[in-house]
Structure 1
Amino acid sequence: MKTPSEKSAGRPGFSIPLLFMHLACAGVFFVPGGWPAFFIFVLMYVLHVFALTAGYHRYFSHKTYQTSRTFQFVLALLGTTAAQRDPLWWASHHRMHHMNSDTEDDVHSPRHHGFWWAHIGWVMNRQLCETDLNRVKDFSKYPELLWLNRHPYIPAFALAILLLGAGSVLNLLFPTLGVSGWQFVFYGFFLSTVAVYHVTFCINSVAHLHGRRRYDVADDSRNNWVLGLVAMGEGWHNNHHRYAVSTRQGFQWWEIDLSYWILRALQRVGLVWGIREPPRSVLTERKP
């Protein structure tokens, strides 16, 4: 049975903070560019995409590997600085998506609600901002995660202040670098965050409309190689919907899954363990 929040799927919404994040990207035209701007943009982009794909998705939503409580919080905090709310909210909605993928009960299905709604419309619906903690009982027992759930935008605001301070200090110490505090804010926070928004949103929209289907699953999920690259492995979406508990989503050697390889590196130093692989029966399975 759908909750009141889920019954609201498809209704229009509007988010002033989301609009502000997009409009603020215009600030890049008023600050220095060059390699420092490119560096901070790429650094924050990679950190945030990894925190969302390896943290919010593969760990908090599907528990495809294990880690310590300390590193669990590091993933949660880093993911929250990406301004996509907190891991409890994110995982609660994502688990519901897998239970009802591309049915009328799926709150971000392009099949039933259209591309715009699946991509960004559902995020702007205030009724869908609620977190059903019953869906994430395994993680809602941690006070630090509940704190992030109650204050999901404080870490993002703190990151913007940190970038402003870091850029300002570098400008003071190494003026020849051409770095400024606002450069770091506009490239490293606003532009990078909005880029991460649309790359992750594309998994809900584009990856259910465009790409190849290796597996004959009940939903419309597809493998999209472009998203596989820019979303650090999340674009192998049909693979994921066939075997969601696998840490690795690029099932073939040529399906680049950067998040998986970073997790493998973290396993070597003992930060994560219990990484799960797709069984051979799934790897050799073909559509009828």
Structure 2
Amino acid sequence: MVGVTVAGEIRGRYQWGAVIPFVLIHIGVLAAFFAPPTPTLLAWLAGSYFLRMFGVTAGYHRYFSHRSYRLGRTAQFLMAVLAQTSGQKGVLWWAAHHRQHHRYADREQDVHSPWQRGFWWSHIGWILANDYDSYDPKKVADWAKFPELLWLDRHHWVPAAGYGALILALGGFPAFIWGFIISTVLLYHCTFAINSVAHLAGSRRFDTPDHSRNNWLLAILTLGEGWHNNHHFSMGSCRQGYRWWEIDVTYMVIKALSLVGIATDLRPFRTPAAAIERAS
């Protein structure tokens, strides 16, 4: 059965320096009552959401956590900046905890398993708790050698704050509400749903030693991350959607970047196509 324990049973307490901004940005969504949606504002919302979701999926996840493709140093830094405009802490912090998740997926040491500590913890609780405020630098020693990434990780709020200020300057208060506040909240919960919902609801193509699921709705909302069982079967692959109908927009963009020489050494799925068909 899915665990029903909550964060209070874990060692630490919530880190209020993270909880307060998290709560405030959710309250900020109410400002939409003073800036009703228009086609322009919805364009701000969609454009900002999908741009930054690409930073989460291609940056935090497939690049910094799994090294599933390569970037030059400048492109690497820009990808880190884009990822951190989402407000999900530093790239080293994100990668370190995600690597631990894969090492212990849905076991006791998993940082955000709904099967171990309940839905609330896996979706929101862990990211706001003192338990995981820091990370083991040994888990990201490959990235810690880059001083610019260390600086970004220590000042993880800078890209998000700068991005919000840019939207405010370009589009005014209504664009800030829709293009930053609301889109950030949507980014949070769609990203977090991979940790929670994608380990509870969906189909399982591969018999992995965890509870990962493929969820088509989450795949749409997260540019391909919802093919989560595929990912847990071949976590080092740059591609997560393998059948023609498993749309993986993140992979499509990375593939396009490879065609112009920005991304290189895209790592393929770890088994032949025939093996995928047999497992389907």
TM-score (norm 1): 0.90
The alignment status of 1:236 with 2:240, answered yes or no, reads: no
C-alpha separation in 2, matches of 1:104 and 1:285: 31
Instruction: State the one-letter code of the partner of 1:51.
Output: G
C-alpha separation in 2, matches of 1:98 and 1:191: 30
Sort the Cα spacing of 1:152 and 1:116 in 2 relative to 1 into closer, same or farther, 3 A: same
Which residue matches 2:134? 130
CA contact (8 A) 1:10 1:113 kept: no
**What are the residue-to-residue correspondences of 1:73-112 with 2, within 5 Å?**
73-112=77-116
Shift of 1:32: 4.7
CA contact (8 A) 1:12 1:121 kept: no
Instruction: State the one-letter code of the partner of 1:286.
Output: A
Sort the Cα spacing of 1:11 and 1:41 in 2 relative to 1 into closer, same or farther, 3 A: same
Which 5+ residue runs of structure 1 have no aligned equivalent?
A: 1-7, 168-180
Shift of 1:129: 1.4
Shift of 1:10: 7.3
CA contact (8 A) 1:51 1:79 kept: yes
Which residue matches 1:283? 276
C-alpha separation in 1, matches of 2:111 and 2:194: 14
CA contact (8 A) 2:41 2:174 kept: yes
**What are the residue-to-residue correspondences of 1:138-177 with 2, within 5 Å?**
138-167=142-171
Shift of 1:11: 5.6
C-alpha separation in 2, matches of 1:9 and 1:132: 18
Please state whether the residue corresponding to 1:256 is helix, strand or coil: coil
Which residue matches 2:258? 267
C-alpha separation in 2, matches of 1:11 and 1:230: 32
CA contact (8 A) 2:11 2:131 kept: no
Please state whether the residue corresponding to 2:152 is helix, strand or coil: helix
- The one of 200, 211, 215 equivalent to 1:220 is 211
Greater shift after overlay, 14-23 or 85-94? 14-23
Shift of 1:66: 0.7
Instruction: State the one-letter code of the partner of 2:241.
Output: G
Instruction: State the one-letter code of the partner of 1:31.
Output: A
Which residue matches 2:47? 43
Sort the Cα spacing of 1:145 and 1:246 in 2 relative to 1 into closer, same or farther, 3 A: same
C-alpha separation in 1, matches of 2:245 and 2:153: 37
Residues 1-58 of structure 1, C-alpha deviations (whole Å, 9 max, x = no match)? xxxxxxx847653611100110011111112521111111111101111011011100
Shift of 1:127: 3.0
CA contact (8 A) 1:203 1:234 kept: yes
Shift of 1:139: 0.7
Which residue matches 2:6? none
C-alpha separation in 1, matches of 2:13 and 2:213: 26
Please state whether the residue corresponding to 2:62 is helix, strand or coil: helix
- The one of 109, 121, 127 equivalent to 2:125 is 121
CA contact (8 A) 1:44 1:189 kept: yes
Which residue matches 1:64? 68
Shift of 1:126: 2.4
Please state whether the residue corresponding to 1:64 is helix, strand or coil: coil
Please state whether the residue corresponding to 2:161 is helix, strand or coil: helix
Shift of 1:118: 0.4
Instruction: State the one-letter code of the partner of 1:109.
Output: S
Which residue matches 1:192? 183
CA contact (8 A) 1:9 1:122 kept: no
TM-score (norm 2): 0.92
The alignment covers a number of residue pairs equal to 268
C-alpha separation in 2, matches of 1:12 and 1:251: 41
Sort the Cα spacing of 1:23 and 1:282 in 2 relative to 1 into closer, same or farther, 3 A: farther
C-alpha separation in 2, matches of 1:30 and 1:48: 25
C-alpha separation in 2, matches of 1:52 and 1:30: 29
